Amino acid sequence: FGKIFMCPEGHGICAESCFRTLPVARKCPQCRKAYGALPCRGIMVEQMIGALQWSCKHGCGLKCSGAQMAAHHVVCPACPLRCPKCLDLVAPSNLLQHFNDKGHEMTNKGKLSDDVCQVSSRWNYKDYCTEADGCSLAVCLQGWGADDLFYLLLRFCEDQPSVMITAFHCRSPHHCRVTFGNSTETCMIFRIASRPWHEYRSGRFKAAESGTGLTFCADSAGLLCGSDGKVKLRLEVLR
């Protein structure tokens, strides 16, 4: 539903996916004529595609114009998600089964009530703050349904001494409460809104990306370390 390139004989091809996969000295798959260094745009074809009604390719049942489809794919509930463990693309309804089939570690929920589920972990702060990939902690938590998964990610900053917390949801957004520390006297409590799973990024983040999560000073977390260099952490998902 984006740009269309035309070969000298008038055959169209998607510019943003199919065209890029053609071998160098790109030739039309139909007539084998070369596209040239600057392929012509099929503006009229693009306008027709943008005006027609299409069904979502992910099978969610929505029909909309081609011009609206790209925006829909960003929020489509059936759009395949990237598994953070093995990077496979998996349908949201199959994500939990994928974790089980692949043997990916997932923390079981501890359900306090119908409105809150929680998990406790220990953040190995001193070991991970020097790791090159900067991925300090990743916790996967099952919510109230088979495809209601949450992924908590702590990442160190590339150019500042800070840590960013981001919670990702598979199906629907929730507010999450994250508590660091062992007691009410020495703890930090953050409340964050989960973000769509497809926004998941790994590795260290840059200061300019801090708006994609909640960022805090790494040294403040270091003050909460126990003698083993770990910080007690509790994640609560609020329904």
- What is the Cα–Cα distance from 31 to 20, expressed in whole angstroms? 18
Question: How high is the pLDDT of residue 97?
Answer: 82
Per-residue pLDDT for 89 more than 70?
Answer: yes
Q: What is the rounded average pLDDT for all residues in the chain?
A: 80
Contact 134, 205 (CB under 8 A): yes
187: left (phi over 0), alpha (psi -120 to 50) or beta: beta
Question: How high is the pLDDT of residue 5?
Answer: 95
This prediction's pTM: 0.66
130: left (phi over 0), alpha (psi -120 to 50) or beta: alpha
Confidence band, pLDDT 50/70/90 cuts, at residue 111: low
- What is the Cα–Cα distance from 65 to 168, expressed in whole angstroms? 29
- What is the Cα–Cα distance from 196 to 166, expressed in whole angstroms? 10
pLDDT in tens, 7-59: 999 999 999 889 988 988 889 999 999 998 889 999 999 999 999 999 998 88
Question: How high is the pLDDT of residue 128?
Answer: 53
Contact partners, residue 232, CB within 8 Å, separation at least 6: 120, 122, 123, 180, 181, 182, 224, 226
- What is the Cα–Cα distance from 225 to 55, expressed in whole angstroms? 52
pLDDT in tens, 175-233: 888 888 866 667 888 888 988 887 877 677 777 777 778 888 877 777 777 777 778 88
